[in-house]
Amino acid sequence: MKSFTRSKQRKAARQSARHSRSVTKHLAKKAGQPPGTLMYIGDASDEEVRISLLDYDPDGLKELTDARVEDILPYRQSPTVTWVNVDGLHKTDVVKSIGEYFDIHHLVLEDVVNTTQRPKLEIYDRNLFITLRLIRFDEEADEVRSSQTSLIVGENFLLSFNQHEERMFDPIRERLREGLGRLRGGGADYLAYALVDLVVDNYFVIIERLSEKIELVEEELITDPQRETLRTIHGLKTDMIALRKSVWPMREVINRMLRSETPFIKDSTRPYLRDVYDHTIHASEIIETSRDIVSGMIDIYLSSVSNRLNEVMKVLTIIATLFMPLTFLCGWYGMNFKNMPELNSPWGYPAVIGVAVLTVVGMLTFFRRHGWL
């Protein structure tokens, strides 16, 4: 159990600090740059940038993987729904070219390559721009990590830009290929809904991981609280804060999608969005509740430290209270006065033994009465 908290947590605490620092460092770098410059803001990456394309209607589906930017152009014109997915944003010229093909506002493109955004929805005349944060649990660092995915929903097309290569959307691709459910029949807005739904459902996976950790720590708190336990609780709290930062604004994003009067969201999709909206509400409530529980754990921890101090002090007090009078007694008859009649009396020693025994019994009775034994 101890191994759970100790080594991992210390490592995690450092990484967490380093991470949050790097986020602001990126942004700080941007200060003084003219607006309109397409500048990648995020962790350096040497992954390949990959473009894939899915073009479908209820009757058929075409797929391109590892496409070049030029390959996409013809699909733009077609009446079928076109989903262009870009994994990796550090090569901004790719984003720029695609943005020009699909006629995207350059401020949107700037936001796409700035991976430190909070979830938001922006409604433009020609499309809808949604920023999402994907959360995963980094097993090695034992902490919550987030990356950014941007969706641009237009007439018959959806562009998704992922900060890293994203396998999370694979189930959607599979369902599209197999033509199951409503996905092929729905438009680009229904596809956007399906992706958002996936992202939100994934929050519950992370929440479950944290709940498991909470359970472990609660167990540890009851059986054997350690110095490291508080640090783990602090780590949980920090994770909760990070999670909350991603989930909370999603409520507003989805609510605004739900209520916006843009043509890019069809009425038939709205009930589904209402459903996702309920899920985000639910997720944020669980997070709030967990935060309350974690806060309560700190109280328990602090009181357990105090209780332990009390116990230590009781042992000390019992020992001192037992032996100090006895030591005094011995010291008394260890004095070298010539005329101490007791020393010569034959009853002196037995009497002292008696007094000692009585003292011990008396003390023990006192302790028992005060509930210290």
**Shortest CB 336 distance to its own copies, Å:** 5
Q: Which amino acid would we find at residue 56? A: Y
Nearer to its own copies, 48 or 219 (CB): 219
**Residue 17, token pair as written in the block:** 């600090």
Interactions with its own copies, residue window 354-373 (CB under 8 A):
372
CB atoms within 10 A of CB 270: 17
Contacts of residue 318, defined as CB under 8 A and 6 or more positions apart, other chains included, come to 363, 367, 372, 373
CB 157 within 8 A of CB 188: yes
Distance from C-alpha of 234 to C-alpha of 227, rounded to nearest angstrom? 12
Closest C-alpha among 105, 104, 168 to residue 136: 168
3 binds its own copies (CB under 8 A): no
* Position among 173, 352, 359, 364 found at the interface with its own copies (CB under 8 A): 352
Nearer to its own copies, 76 or 321 (CB): 321
165 binds its own copies (CB under 8 A): no
**Residue 246, token pair as written in the block:** 């991603």
177 binds its own copies (CB under 8 A): no
Interactions with its own copies, residue window 200-229 (CB under 8 A):
201-202, 204-205, 207-208, 211-212, 214-215, 218-219, 222, 227
**Residue 363, token pair as written in the block:** 């003390």
CA 365, 368, 373: angle at the middle one, nearest 5?
130
79 binds its own copies (CB under 8 A): no
278 binds its own copies (CB under 8 A): yes
Sign (positive/negative) of CA torsion 304, 305, 306, 311? positive
The DSSP annotation for 292-305 comes to: HHHHHHHHHHHHHH
27 binds its own copies (CB under 8 A): yes
**Shortest CB 91 distance to its own copies, Å:** 22
Mark 5-24 with x for binding to its own copies (rule: CB under 8 A) and - for no binding.
Answer: -----x--xx--xx-xx-xx
Interactions with its own copies, residue window 254-273 (CB under 8 A):
271-272
* Position among 1, 39, 73, 340 found at the interface with its own copies (CB under 8 A): 340
77 binds its own copies (CB under 8 A): no
179 binds its own copies (CB under 8 A): no
Nearer to its own copies, 83 or 193 (CB): 193
Nearer to its own copies, 72 or 135 (CB): 135
Nearer to its own copies, 88 or 119 (CB): 119
**Shortest CB 71 distance to its own copies, Å:** 29
CB atoms within 10 A of CB 287: 22
- DSSP state at residue 41: B
Distance from C-alpha of 105 to C-alpha of 101, rounded to nearest angstrom? 11
Interactions with its own copies, residue window 49-68 (CB under 8 A):
none
Interactions with its own copies, residue window 29-48 (CB under 8 A):
30-37
323 binds its own copies (CB under 8 A): yes
CB 115 within 8 A of CB 148: yes
Interactions with its own copies, residue window 300-319 (CB under 8 A):
300-310, 312-317, 319
* Position among 7, 78, 268, 327 found at the interface with its own copies (CB under 8 A): 327
CA 18, 20, 25: angle at the middle one, nearest 5?
90
**Shortest CB 354 distance to its own copies, Å:** 13
Interactions with its own copies, residue window 112-141 (CB under 8 A):
116-118, 120, 122
Distance from C-alpha of 245 to C-alpha of 259, rounded to nearest angstrom? 23
The CA radius of gyration of the chain, in Å to the nearest whole number, is: 34
**Shortest CB 52 distance to its own copies, Å:** 19
Nearer to its own copies, 19 or 76 (CB): 19
| CB burial readout 27-48, b (16+ within 10 A) else e | eeeeeeeeeeeeebbbeebeee
